[in-house]
Structure 1
């Protein structure tokens, strides 16, 4: 008698795997990820060194179709003291470990789930140019995908189709690793900004790759103590936004956001003024400065290159949140609504240096 076929509890489809592959590459700095499936979408999480955690959020409406059916676990009737997080934890969901690199290899099985960005440092302009050239050569072929999962112990199944050819990939699932309890509490937020990703990308391009740490400094818009230096190195170069460098010209526009990369060979600074063309949203309740490992900033570069906008938030304890908005709908017709997903990085600060960096900034 044949064994019963497991009942699918997840079925999700996308018409083009390239945006999905681009998003997952942003997390591919660890071999394994934790995948969590719920009625409202999928969350994929990786972490490094117990000090940085990255998660990709794919909402159900970012798929062409999405169905998740799992019976809710038995639980007592909710009481007035039951909070929303408890309700979320008790909602039907499944969680397992998976090889992210294997998923990416499967998505690229027909060879066209190519990178839409990635890498870091001076590689970025070349990679972006390569992608633009690739799109010009696009022959219209795309790989569609159907993803399914049938419960604990079962593989994650990907059915990939291109030009009538279908390939089935069964990816082994594992017991999930225990993730650190790292979450951004918006009630403790002291700063928030939203900007086009290209502006932050340009700044990161200027950072010395030999730097050891990066300081993020913010000042309230009406109380910005830092003079504006669009780019400044140990030679203290100054220049107006979008203009040529001039060693002798002082620009008296206050800076409300400064990046400072610090290394053995000196430091590099990039400043942003209170300009709506650059910072779409800016909120800062008190002067804030924290330093972070430069290596952790490098891990965000693939998400940064793939994204169109980025939100940066800082909590009272220095926890830094990057939220990257990444298109996942590929090309859309005029008037159609583009689908997006979000990749979030939570980065713990180098606490010992935070107060000293702020004091040094105020003395300049």
Structure 2
């Protein structure tokens, strides 16, 4: 054998070893692989919670959980059991944040064919395989196949963020109602959800479930009985009546805090996003003798704590007529801001309970922190 042939053989062996090493490296990076026969299944599920820019993807031993959260006051969860997938391999648990619209565009990259008469989506045979590879520039990889044509989508992921843990108690449940989504959506379209006050009734007697919206233009209501095709599950051990409005007792307790500590109020709850809600707060303050809002936080930042600190940083007393200098401040909220950021909320947070609001205990704690 010639020297050239020997060298060529050695080179071939070296290339083969490099390929094997690369395959082993790629295999080591793979943390999660799953396959669905229809990409539309995943796209349809994502569309149901498409109300924010980003989503959290969690690959668990039981399936995939996708979390969408908006302003840390609304959260949507979608869970896809492992049995839904045609194949599901989880090397280690995965959690990352991704841009929702980007993934939806990738899943629909072949388009959505519509029936020419009904304009309903037609069945497709686009399969999708999901890979998550660690230590990659584009760790999320989608492979879509239709009629032998394979499209590879390489997607960058975003830094993970904490989500609110809504600790719903499973004990002492007095009522539980489960609706079929499409029917309930149609029922809600009959009332004004932006009304000043929305009342919820759940009773053991007909109509069983009632929503009433009260606004300047009058009242609208929707009733859903237990035997309605819209209702899937109904449980009621005692009547429930909730009314979405400002509680007068809580307002009086807030005034006590303001009067004792000479503080001004900045709105940081989700009410700040709606002009009518802010106007209602201002009106309630005026009636009880609380100074107008000093302002409200923006949506800058990943958490409500970030939003508060952005407001504090941007605050400029020169923009208002009064000389206001911030020496001490607190946040009163039924969202656990201390859990979100214990360091920054230390000595700045008083937590309330959704059912009780601002109580006598809240007053004492708030005055202590502001004194």
2:156 to 154, 158, 172: 172
Maintained 8 Å contact 2:37/2:126: yes
Q: Could you list the runs of 5+ residues in structure 1 that have no partner in the other structure?
A: 71-92, 115-128, 225-253, 297-317, 320-347, 353-364
What residue is the counterpart of 2:80 in the other structure? Answer: 58
- Cα displacement string for residues 287-316 of structure 1 (whole angstroms, at most 9, x for unaligned residues): 2123469x99xxxxxxxxxxxxxxxxxxxx
Provide the rounded CA distance (Å) in 2 between the counterparts of 1:12 and 1:191. 38
Structure 2 residue aligned with 1:108: 108
Match for residue 130 of structure 2? 147
Cα-Cα RMSD:
3.3
Deviation track 1:259-284 (CA, whole Å, cap 9, x = no partner) reads 12233322211112343655443211
Work out the number of aligned pairs and report it. Answer: 231
In 2, Cα distance between equivalents of 1:132 and 1:182: 41
- The TM-score with structure 2 as length reference comes to 0.55
Rg (Cα) greater in structure = 2
SS of the equivalent of 1:179 reads coil
Measure, in 1, the Cα distance between the counterparts of 2:43 and 2:355.
Answer: 32
Matched, 1:5 2:5: no
Whether the aligned pair in 1 keeps the contact of 2:193 and 2:213 (CA below 8 Å) is: no
Q: Is the 8 A contact 1:33 1:98 kept in 2?
A: yes
2:32/2:94 contact within 8 Å kept: no
Q: Which structure dedicates a bigger proportion of its chain to strand?
A: 1
Do structure 1's residue 26 and structure 2's residue 48 form an aligned pair?
yes
* Deviation, structure 1 residue 202: 2.9
Change (3 A) 1:279 1:112: closer
Say which of 177, 181, 187 aligns to 1:203.
187
Which runs of structure 2 are paired with 1:1-364 in the superposition (5 Å)? 4-7=25-28, 8-70=30-92, 93-112=93-112, 132-135=118-121, 138=122, 141-151=124-134, 155-208=139-192, 210-212=194-196, 214-219=198-203, 221=204, 224=205, 254-275=206-227, 279-291=231-243
SS at match of 2:112: coil
* Alignment check: 8 A CA contact 1:42 1:60 kept: yes
Paired with 2:76 and 2:65, the residues of 1 have a C-alpha distance of 10
* Structure-2 residue corresponding to 1:301: none
Structure 2: how far apart are the matches of 1:32 and 1:49?
A: 12
Change in Cα spacing, 1:57 to 1:218, as seen in structure 2 (3 Å) is: same
Superposed CA offset, 1:89-126 (max 9, x none) = xxxx2211111111101001111288xxxxxxxxxxxx
Q: CA deviation at 1:55?
A: 0.9
Between Structure 1 and Structure 2, the one with more helix by share is 2
Residues 223-275 of structure 1: CA deviation (Å, up to 9, x unaligned)? x3xxxxxxxxxxxxxxxxxxxxxxxxxxxxx3211012233322211112343
Q: Is the 8 A contact 1:292 1:349 kept in 2?
A: no
Distance 1:130 1:212, change over 3 A: farther
The alpha-carbon distance between structure 1 residues 188 and 173, as it changes in their structure 2 partners (threshold 3 A), is farther
Greater Cα offset, 170-179 or 271-280: 271-280
Match of 1:329 in 2: none
2 CA distance for matches of 1:281 and 1:257?
Answer: 12
CA distance, structure 1, for counterparts of residue 184 and residue 68 of structure 2: 23
